[in-house]
Amino acid sequence: MKHIGIVACSAEGAALCYRTICQRALEYLGEHDHPRVTLDSIPMAATMPYFRSRDLAGVAGVLRQSLETLARAGADFAICPDNTCHLAFPLLEPSSPLPLLHIVRVVGEEARRLGYKKLGITGTAFLMDGGLYPEMLCREFEIDSCIPDAEARARIQEIIFRQLVNGEYPEESRIYLNRVIGDLARHGCDAVVLGCTELPILVRPADCPLPVLDSTRLLAHAALLTALRRD
């Protein structure tokens, strides 16, 4: 089995990704077994100033340091369970010391498999304003997309950075996210991307107004399958 490296940018999202890899591995490998996983946890404080100044080269530099650590630890490839950090991937991938799985590509492949035509995109304001999902989904999968309005984007940003990354998941925030997702449904979306690694902990698929594409768990499963694949 290949050794999985995780570039961890938030504790909550990275923990969910790691747990998912280990739990899903039971289906393939049996009791107590999973691929080797090394997680390098970058403090969010290292990347936030670069995001605020829109310096994606700075973000890529921080991520590259983590990938170098994972490469020294013996990882064969890496994932980053942080959608927003993927904005820096065009600057990171050409010089990455490890092969990388791209979270938008993983989500797009699942959306295409399920036949979705228009996806609502939720996540940080950096991600929703950055055009990453709309551009890749259109270019690689011919899937349309839609983001919430400016007021909703600002509120979701506040929920993520004041609550979710700190392990707080208030019911009022879950209800608000459902209302935003309902608006996306009324704009013709047939599914919603939970494009922040903590959002799957908050949003409940059973009462969400749209089918959910859980970017965190989809990436974890893709990493597991990659680790088990014989090249």
The yes-or-no verdict on residue 158 having pLDDT over 90 is: yes
**What domains can be seen in the chain, in order of their start residue?**
4-102+218-228 (3.40.50.1860), 103-214 (3.40.50.1860)
Question: Could you identify the residue written with the tokens 């609550």?
Answer: 163
Given this model, what pLDDT does residue 195 score? Answer: 96
pLDDT given for residue 36 in this prediction: 97
Judge whether 79 and 99 are in contact, CB under 8 Å: no
Q: Which residues contact 89 (CB under 8 A, 6 or more apart)?
A: 60, 100, 102
pLDDT reported for residue 230: 80
Are 40 and 31 within 8 A, CB to CB?
Answer: no
pLDDT at 146: 96
pLDDT, tens only, 176-200: 999 999 999 999 999 999 999 899 9
Q: What is the DSSP string of 126-175?
A: HHHHHTHHHHHHHHHH--EEE---HHHHHHHHHHHHHTGGGT---HHHHH
Model confidence pLDDT, tens digit, residues 87-144: 999 999 999 999 999 999 999 999 999 999 999 999 999 999 999 999 999 999 999 9
Q: What is the pLDDT of residue 204?
A: 94
**Residue 182, pLDDT score:** 97
The one-letter code for the residue type at 193 is: V
Interval 28-85: pLDDT, tens: 999 999 999 999 998 999 999 999 999 999 999 999 999 999 999 999 999 999 999 9
Cα separation of 14 and 37, whole Å?
A: 12
Check residue 178 and give its pLDDT: 97
pLDDT(231) > 80 = no
Please report, as a single letter, which amino acid is at residue 1.
M
